[in-house]
Amino acid sequence: MDVGLVGFFVGAAPGLTYILVTMFRVRQVQGQAREIARQHGEFLDFDSSENQSYDFLLSPEKFIKPTDGPGVRSGKSLLLSIRDKMWKRLWVGVVLMFVGMPIGIFSAVFLNEYLLDHP
């Protein structure tokens, strides 16, 4: 494998890890929101409607519907409470990736060319 490619992946790894951890945390909160709705005898499912995920990500004012019961409203409110932090963390991860990739490439090439002994 080319040393530049290795540097690319090593440089991207911290940002990608940060993004994956953020996504994992959001999934945990989604589970908590489902549990809150279930405790009220209601059902909260993000896979039943495409608009659920879209509204959560891009149209938060439409996320809580007038027809939602108190349990679903509580669960959705919990999700909306982490939404801004989630977007910030995702953007930090993207910035880490885009900064880390060229640094990783240049570092790998520099190490290979100037610091490692070549036969």
Host domain of residue 70: 3-114
- For residue 97, the number of C-alpha atoms closer than 13 Å in the C-beta half-sphere is 14
Helix (H) / strand (E) element for 86: namely helix 70-110
User: How far is 26 from 15, CA to CA, in rounded Å?
Assistant: 17
Q: Assess if residue 83 is contained within a domain.
A: yes
| Mean pLDDT to the nearest integer, 78-90 | 95
| Mean pLDDT to the nearest integer, 16-41 | 94
Q: Which two tokens stand for residue 43?
A: 């059902």
User: How far is 118 from 47, CA to CA, in rounded Å?
Assistant: 55
Number of domains in the chain: 1
Write down the pTM of the prediction: 0.84
pLDDT tens digits, 29-66 = 999 999 999 999 988 887 777 778 888 888 888 888 88
Q: Assess if residue 20 is contained within a domain.
A: yes
Q: Assess if residue 119 is contained within a domain.
A: no
